[in-house]
Amino acid sequence: MAQKRDYKKKMELNKLQKSEMGIVSDRFPSVSNMVIYMTYFHEAENPILMERTINIFPTSIADFNMACMIRGCDKGGFNLAPVISKLVKERKKSAKGDMTCKGKIENHSSRHAHISYRISINFRKKH
Ligand SMILES: [Zn+2]
């Protein structure tokens, strides 16, 4: 029971943190839209865990910290925020790369999960 309550508390905290992040148009006013393509890999015979495309609009929550999909991973995830901040600052339209989850997980190696990502940004026209 206690575990369930902790989970609920955690979810509420997450919600609060998300609302404090603000929306994309506040954080990146020059962005008109953005697409993030991600492929999740894990340590297995079939390494591709899933593929995901996320469309970001000016009204979206500016949350670019993607959760690790491996059950039991503690404090893991893939934070694309620094990558996106840099792209927007330099007004670059796209980038790609890889990121390894730094979360801790029992009975798994430190290389339990990684992603490859591609980000594509459309900027508003300058006035
Ligand atoms: Zn992880």
Tell me what pLDDT residue 2 has: 59
Tell me what pLDDT residue 16 has: 66
38 part of a folded domain: yes
Q: Are 40 and 101 in contact (CB under 8 A)?
A: no
Q: Residue 49 is part of which domain span?
A: 23-123
16 part of a folded domain: no
Indicate the number of domains in the chain: 1
Q: What is the rounded CA–CA span in Å between residue 89 and residue 91?
A: 5
Amino acid making up residue 12 = E
* CA 101–ligand 1 middle distance (angstroms): 5
5 part of a folded domain: no
Q: Ligand 1 being an ion, which residues bring their Cβ within 5 A of it?
A: 68, 70, 73, 76, 101, 103, 113
7 part of a folded domain: no
Claim: this prediction has a pTM higher than 0.75: yes
| Number of neighbours of residue 103 by Cβ within 10 angstroms | 19
* CA 116–ligand 1 middle distance (angstroms): 14
8 part of a folded domain: no
Tell me what pLDDT residue 127 has: 63
* CA 35–ligand 1 middle distance (angstroms): 23
79 part of a folded domain: yes
Tell me what pLDDT residue 40 has: 97
64 part of a folded domain: yes
Identify the segments of the chain with pLDDT beneath 50.
Answer: none
User: What tokens were used for 15?
Assistant: 């919600």
Q: What is the rounded CA–CA span in Å between residue 49 and residue 25?
A: 32
**What tens digit of pLDDT does each residue of 11-42 get?**
777 776 666 779 999 999 999 999 999 999 99
9 part of a folded domain: no
